[in-house]
Structure 1
Amino acid sequence: MSTPPSVLVIDDEPRSVEVMARILREEFDVHVASGAAEARGILEANWIQAIFCDQRMPGLTGVQFLSEVRDRWPDIVRMIVTGYTEPDDMIDAINAAGIYQYITKPWHPDQLLLAARNATHLFAMQRDHERLSLELRLAPPAAEGRLVRQRERVRGSYHFESIIRTPTSPLNETCRQAAKAAAFDIPVLIQGETGTGKELMARALHYASQRDTGAFVAVNCGAIPDELLESELFGHRKGAFTGAHANRRGLVEEADGGTLFLDEIGDISAAFQVKLLRFLQEGEFRALGTNETTRVDVRVLAATHRDLREEVRAGRFREDLYFRLSAMVLTIPPLRDRPDDVRVLANHLLDAACLRHGRHVRGFTPDTMAALIRHDWPGNVRELQNEVLRMLVLAEQDALGVELLSPGLRATGDGDGARHGVGPMDSIPHTGPLQQRMDVLEAQILMETIVRCGWNKSLTARELGLSRVGLRAKLDRYGIVPNAGQRTIQ
């Protein structure tokens, strides 16, 4: 059983000492003294953590004695017990003796116990702080070595070679350009469809740059309401708006000396485009609720799934902001234009998922891999990752077969439907649970009908007896989308 914390009670009135000691002995090892001389002897012989000292004593006052304690035993938490609470006296006591708390008479037993708990807890925290500070002073080489090794591990996880692709991948040219741009401290705009890995490319740019020891701070501009985005990026002061209960540093300041990644930059409003342009031009900003200007040194990388040149022509994106963001433009090709990459990506994602979830499988059957390669992947790598994880969750054999594929990918065959993961009617699996086989049939009926209707969703919904919302939900469920360039009529 651990030893209870030790406290010292000093009062020249025996009755007062007796009552305080009786209450405190419920949780503490209590020492008592009637005056300063007796208290000194106790302090020299015992490890005291907190003192309750009466202010009015013969000889030295409580403040005078606690000032002496502060000089000789500075770690002890000091408290005054008094019936007098003149403000000037309290200020003098705090300055002279470093008083932690005033306890006024008459006090309540619960108040006394709470004060003792807080004081001994503070004493323990001070000791832990001193120990940690000493360890940090004694072990900087080891700490620095750990930091260097951790930084190398992170850098190894985010570099251009770690972006999974084949030697003939269209992504190779993008990575080659990115590697050249990384060495120059210029803004880079990364374009690509959702799920293609724009943030991964941005991190690779950061860790290949001279700012690799600084922070990489990412913010999704499309996921934050416009009225909150300014506070998120530039911070705010207490009271700047309803709910601003404390000062807050913005992400721009967090990225000082490193890289700020603005994802989905094409989604910000026209009003915020002006504020962002001002920051990019001046390299400084004002937090909400203050007129003070803060200057930072950050490299800005931005990403978007939109065609920003078209957005500029349409008047939805400022031309001057576009040129501020796009000293270099990198375009990540969609997965449908990288069919050879699907095989290596699927195997890599499967290995990572097995490691993370403690599973072991041999890999994909040939038919499964063929279906994966044939699919358009409108959600790109993110969709492929979800598909692989789903198959691993459902797997009962040591190889992932076609029966584990989502309904929209499971069927095989040629023709327009095969391009979308949906095959002809004779490709319904001859084995497997009834619901899975029904899902394949439903997907094929949907595909055949919407193709025959020229991708007119209203006409398709009427023919199938569905609402447009119901049709859209089924198309999303089975991953049925038109070929690139085909126009969808709502």
Structure 2
Amino acid sequence: MNRRPAILVVDDEPRSVEVIARVLDEEFDVFTALNADEARRILENEWIQVIFCDQRMPHTSGVALLTEVRERWPDILRIIVTGYTEPQDMIGAINEAGIYQFIPKPWHPDQLLLAARNAAHLFQLQRDHERLNLEMKLTAVTAEARLGAQQARVKQNFHFDTLIRAPGSALSAVCLRAAQVATFDVPVLVHGETGTGKELLARAIHYSSLRSDRPFFAVNCGAIPDELLESELFGHKKGSFTGAHVTRIGLLDQADGGTIFLDEIGDVSPAFQVKLLRFLQEGEIRPVGSNESKRVNVRVLAATHRDLYGEVGRGRFREDLYYRLCAMVLTLPALRERRPDIPVLAQSILDALSAHHGKRVKGFTEEALACMQAYDWPGNVRELQNEITRMLVLAERDTLSADLLSPHVVRAAAAETRAVETRASEAGASQAISLPDGGPLKERVERMEATILTETLVRCRWNKSRAAEELGLSRVGLRAKLDRYGISRGGAFSKSH
């Protein structure tokens, strides 16, 4: 139950106090005092919101008492009840005691009640205002703290150490060079095949730079037509072209003070190269349909899978733009050039996918990892992620085995096994048959048979009974063929790829 507003009535005449209290008692909790000392004791022990005080009292005046109340309890609304309303007295009382209202004698009950209601309502408004101000300050502090924590998490998630690799990886040298250039406010061109992680490297450069607390935007230039790309980067005015129903702020404007990553920069047209060059030279942007330019401070990181220098020589890319983009060139190695990274990278991808899909899987078998390391992964990390996703969906055990791999991945492992055994045979280190690419039909058939045997064994996780059943052979017949071609589990997977 909500407590009614509390009012203190101070007057040296008991009859006057009694009458005022009777008027206010229906809507308020009324406390009374016949002198200043009683009033102070009540104020010290009760939560008073409004005080009615007579001006003429022995030993002290109403203004003097309310001046003291203003200093000690400034939130209380102070009302003077008096028969003396000289203008000069009223001005002095307002200045000294901060009087909310004067009520002249003789007063009407309705006038007294209305003054009490208004004063109590104003007191509550003041309290609500203070509470809202405090909540807004706390909210701002909390939001700022959350933003700081979020920025810290982002920086942690996009650091060079988060680019997953094994010790001694070819990627480590690239990350070291990128870390050196990150703190220098210069443009960087990242070169690498599709799916090698060019955007991840660009984000790591940004969040390791002095601009890390400012925005980072990524744009795939090869996936957007020139007209839309210009609007995306530079913005446009309302009505500047068909479909421009609202004014749009370009990403270069939004990234002011931060970094923009232009992916597949080698795919932009010669016409757009001119517009981009103008921005890089002048540091200004002009939205489509606008006559005004705006200066922005943006660091540009670009990436391409093309030989951009070769494109310059062939006249497909502007030379002046090329040198504006590549104060430093970083080349990301393809996944086939960093095969030792595949096990640790695959496990990291599997852990993330397992958590995302809610399917608990521990890891990979040795055969599966060996097959994955033998494959060239032309799609690089993206293709690896898709393959692991497929394996996770099909898995019925808590470990992903080689029989879950796509056939072309297994075939690559079988072909690599045959190549290893051939080289070992030529060196006298193995009894496996060395079959040339050409030669009589019989030799070619034998080579194909050996490849099929190896592929089937890999897919069956070297379970010879299952492999023999799949191939329509007896276990004895399968063993004879394995001995004939020198195929063994150790021989197939003993090499570290």
Question: What TM bracket, shorter-length normalisation?
Answer: 0.5 to 0.7
Residue 246 of structure 2 aligns to a residue whose secondary structure is: coil
Give distance in 1, aligned partners of 2:197 and 2:164: 10
Q: Which position in structure 2 is the counterpart of 1:413? A: 414
Residue 236 of structure 2 aligns to a residue whose secondary structure is: coil
Residue 185 of structure 1 aligns to a residue whose secondary structure is: coil
Does the Cα contact within 8 Å between 1:166 and 1:341 map onto a contact in 2? Answer: yes
How far 1:257 moved relative to its partner? 1.0
Is the aligned partner of 1:193 residue 2:220?
no
How far 1:426 moved relative to its partner? 2.4
Q: Which position in structure 2 is the counterpart of 1:424? A: 451
**1:337-396 CA deviation, whole Å, 9 max, x = no partner?**
001011110011111111111111121111100000000010011111111111001101
Is the aligned partner of 1:261 residue 2:261?
yes
Give distance in 2, aligned partners of 1:244 and 1:132: 40
**1:269-322 CA deviation, whole Å, 9 max, x = no partner?**
000000000000000011011101011111100000111000001100000000
Q: Which position in structure 2 is the counterpart of 1:294? A: 294
Give distance in 1, aligned partners of 2:418 and 2:265: 35
Structure 1: segments with no counterpart, 5+ residues = 1-129, 442-490
Is the aligned partner of 1:370 residue 2:370?
yes
Cα distance change on mapping 1:353 and 1:147 into 2, 3 Å: same
Normalized against structure 1, the TM-score is what?
0.59
Cα distance change on mapping 1:206 and 1:415 into 2, 3 Å: closer
Q: Which position in structure 2 is the counterpart of 1:338? A: 338
Cα distance change on mapping 1:418 and 1:145 into 2, 3 Å: farther
Give distance in 2, aligned partners of 1:250 and 1:336: 38
How far 1:217 moved relative to its partner? 0.6
Q: Which position in structure 2 is the counterpart of 1:136? A: 136
Letter in 1 for 2:456: P
Give distance in 2, aligned partners of 1:335 and 1:251: 32
How far 1:228 moved relative to its partner? 1.3
Does the Cα contact within 8 Å between 2:266 and 2:308 map onto a contact in 1? Answer: yes
Give distance in 2, aligned partners of 1:417 and 1:216: 48
Structure 2: segments with no counterpart, 5+ residues = 1-129, 421-447, 461-466, 472-497
**1:372-423 CA deviation, whole Å, 9 max, x = no partner?**
000001001111111111100110111111111112112342459879xx98
**1:440-462 CA deviation, whole Å, 9 max, x = no partner?**
99xxxxxxxxxxxxxxxxxxxxx
How far 1:142 moved relative to its partner? 2.2
Q: For this pair of structures, how many residues does the alignment match? A: 308
Q: Which position in structure 1 is the counterpart of 2:438? A: none
Q: Which position in structure 1 is the counterpart of 2:397? A: 397
Normalized against structure 2, the TM-score is what?
0.59
How far 1:226 moved relative to its partner? 1.4
How far 1:155 moved relative to its partner? 0.5
Cα distance change on mapping 1:377 and 1:275 into 2, 3 Å: same
Give distance in 1, aligned partners of 2:138 and 2:338: 53
Identity across the alignment (%) = 60
Q: What RMSD in Å do the two structures reach over aligned CA positions?
A: 2.8
How far 1:202 moved relative to its partner? 0.3
Does the Cα contact within 8 Å between 2:374 and 2:416 map onto a contact in 1? Answer: no
Q: Which position in structure 2 is the counterpart of 1:115? A: none
Letter in 1 for 2:316: R
Does the Cα contact within 8 Å between 1:374 and 1:418 map onto a contact in 2? Answer: no
How far 1:425 moved relative to its partner? 2.5
Larger radius of gyration: 2
Letter in 2 for 1:323: Y
Matches within 5 A, 1:457-468: none
Does the Cα contact within 8 Å between 2:410 and 2:455 map onto a contact in 1? Answer: no
Letter in 2 for 1:153: R
Does the Cα contact within 8 Å between 2:170 and 2:338 map onto a contact in 1? Answer: yes
Does the Cα contact within 8 Å between 2:346 and 2:388 map onto a contact in 1? Answer: yes
Give distance in 2, aligned partners of 1:236 and 1:173: 42
Residue 164 of structure 1 aligns to a residue whose secondary structure is: coil
Residue 456 of structure 2 aligns to a residue whose secondary structure is: coil
